[in-house]
Structure 1
Amino acid sequence: MIRTALITALVLTTASCSTLARDKSRGAESERALPFKAKLSKGDDKRDIAISVENKGAGVEEVRESVRFEATKYCLLNFGGSEAEWQVSPVSDDWAFTQDGNKLVFNARCVAR
């Protein structure tokens, strides 16, 4: 009887520890302030993501770190690896993007696992 209660308590304690630890990582933040606010959207396949940034006249180089941070955080927390495969423009050989009003929208795919 005591053995069963002890085993049950250990199993429940261990299970709740992993849940609490994972919840803390969901609020991941950058070490330094990022210059642009980026918003991530998932596609039909959860590995496909779109990240939009209000560019305020800035180009790809200026917004790249804000976009990369959101993709890295999402891929790491959801798929166990930080690598994202970015859609590349055949013209510039750089990250492809579309413009939606005053926002730049970048597309990537998480490639871990």
Structure 2
Amino acid sequence: MTMRNVILAMLAGLSLTACGTLSDDRQTFDGVAFRAKLSAEKEDNRNFTVEVRDPVQSLAGAREAGRYEAVQYCIESFGNSRMTWSQGPDVEDAELQIVDDVLILKGRCAGW
């Protein structure tokens, strides 16, 4: 076998070991992998909105999925997890804003 074939075989083997790892990395909450999306305001990126799809699968899990997105954003953007919620996950079920099967949470990162 030539050196070129050995390198190609090694690269092929390495590429196969990466197969399937993307789906394994999904975070689950209450056993459900929620689709959550955070959007920051352009005028002041400390303000954010989190949308969590299909919260009826598990309301408790959807709350935590939204909180997780917010904490991750605040840490990555401002170096800490401190935030205040204007429409947070810790309210009674009846107070949660769910529109078109999307849980909507709003908050503000504390900043540096």
Query: Normalising by structure 2, what TM-score?
Result: 0.59
* Unmatched tracts of structure 2, length 5 or more: 1-24
| Secondary structure class of the residue paired with 1:57 | helix
Distance 1:48 1:97 in 2: 18
* Unmatched tracts of structure 1, length 5 or more: 1-30
Matched, 1:86 2:85: yes
Q: How many residues are treated as equivalent by the alignment?
A: 80
Q: Aligned in 2, Cα 1:106/1:59: closer, same or farther, shift over 3 Å?
A: farther
| Secondary structure class of the residue paired with 2:56 | coil
Q: Tell me if structure 2 keeps the 8 A contact 1:97–1:107.
A: no
Q: Tell me if structure 2 keeps the 8 A contact 1:55–1:103.
A: yes
Query: Normalising by structure 1, what TM-score?
Result: 0.58
Following TM superposition, where does structure 1 have runs of at least 4 consecutive aligned residues deviating by more than 6 angstroms? none
Q: Percent identity?
A: 30
Q: One-letter code of the match for 1:54?
A: R
Q: Aligned in 2, Cα 1:79/1:56: closer, same or farther, shift over 3 Å?
A: closer
